[in-house]
Amino acid sequence: MDTVTLTTADGLNLFAMLGTVLWHALRIGAALQVLPVIGGRSLPVRARLILTIALSAAISTVLPAPPPAAVDAATVLDVVREFAIGVAIGMMVRLAFEAGRLAGEMIAQGMGLAFATLADPLSGASSQVLSQWFYLVFALLFFTLDAHLALVQVLADSYRTLPIGAPIADLPAFVAAVPAFFNIVLKAGVLLALPVTIALLAVNLAFGVLARAAAQLHPMALGLPVALLTGLMLMAVLARGLQDPVEALFEQAFAAARAITG
């Protein structure tokens, strides 16, 4: 075999490898784009692109090669399907973080911190400071519990259960997966905030009764600092017990993500 033939063969192999990596990058890149901490404005686009290509190259070496693609409508549908699957998987993890945001907003109402806002890296808008605190705690636990490695495993397993180019067997269940997990997220957020919210409600009710009984003492002027201090102490107690419920919520998110691909 002459040099020209070898060079041509090597070039074709290189393009085939690049095409395989790009096919896997569609699903992985879509998942990383909607993830908290990594997606959105939290990470520069170039860094996220490098991470996507690196994960796609690593995963593509242990999975069967995708079927050859032609320039037709079927290929366009395959690309759209890969984006949809990746977004759905990443959205499960993002919704788990939204449970912390909901808990922070509920607690902030009772502490009087509803007007203390910061720029939210998850959505790009402004959110309450306690929501940011829960976001940071969830992010720390996400990496501490090796949930990022579990996410990579979920993405790799999704190619085995739903390979590139394979149609989605149960489309209605796929569409309803994210709304179904949203109910679990709402329940988790309420349960996280419930102990602190009830305690702060009792404090506010006590000062409300005192304001009716002895208005000349101006108890409402003392109610805000007392509620704030009480809330901070309760948040310190709550922080010590957050790991178990957050870990359970992440496990439910990954279970819901695996259910997407069957």
Residue-level pLDDT at 219: 62
pLDDT at 122 over 60: no
Residue of 56, 78, 55 lying closest to 67 (CA atoms): 78
Residue-level pLDDT at 11: 42
Count of other CB atoms within 10 angstroms of residue 47: 10
The C-alpha R_g of the chain, in whole angstroms, comes to: 24
Highest mean pLDDT of the ranges 37-41, 105-109, 189-193: 189-193
Residue-level pLDDT at 214: 66
Residue-level pLDDT at 209: 74
How large is the average pLDDT for residues 92-98?
Answer: 90
The contacts of residue 27 (CB under 8 Å, 6+ apart) are 82, 83, 85, 86, 89, 155, 158, 159, 164
How many CA atoms, within 13 angstroms, populate the side-chain half-sphere of residue 89?
A: 29
Residue-level pLDDT at 162: 84
The full DSSP string for 132-161 is: HHHHHHHHHHHHHTTHHHHHHHHHHHHHHH
Q: Is 103 in contact with 128 (CB distance < 8 Å)?
A: no
Residue-level pLDDT at 12: 43
Q: What is the percent of the chain with per-residue pLDDT over 70, rounded to a whole number? A: 81
Residue-level pLDDT at 119: 61
How large is the average pLDDT for residues 185-212?
Answer: 83
More confident call, 187 vs 113: 187
Write down the pTM of the prediction: 0.81
Running DSSP on this structure, what letter comes out for residue 5?
H
Residue of 133, 95, 92 lying closest to 116 (CA atoms): 133
User: What average pLDDT does the chain have?
Assistant: 80
Residue-level pLDDT at 248: 92
How large is the average pLDDT for residues 52-59?
Answer: 87
C-alpha span between 119 and 128 (Å, rounded) = 9
C-alpha span between 148 and 13 (Å, rounded) = 32
pLDDT at 47 over 60: yes
Q: Band of the pLDDT at 4, cuts 50, 70, 90?
A: very low
Q: Is 197 in contact with 110 (CB distance < 8 Å)?
A: yes
The per-residue pLDDT for range 234-251, each reduced to its tens digit, is 888 888 888 889 999 999
SS3 117: strand
C-alpha span between 189 and 108 (Å, rounded) = 13
pLDDT at 255 over 70: yes
How large is the average pLDDT for residues 191-197?
Answer: 88
Domains in the chain: boundaries: 3-260
Query: What are the counts of helices (DSSP H) followed by strands (DSSP E) for the chain?
Result: 8, 2
The per-residue pLDDT for range 12-30, each reduced to its tens digit, is 455 567 778 888 888 888 8
Residue-level pLDDT at 249: 92
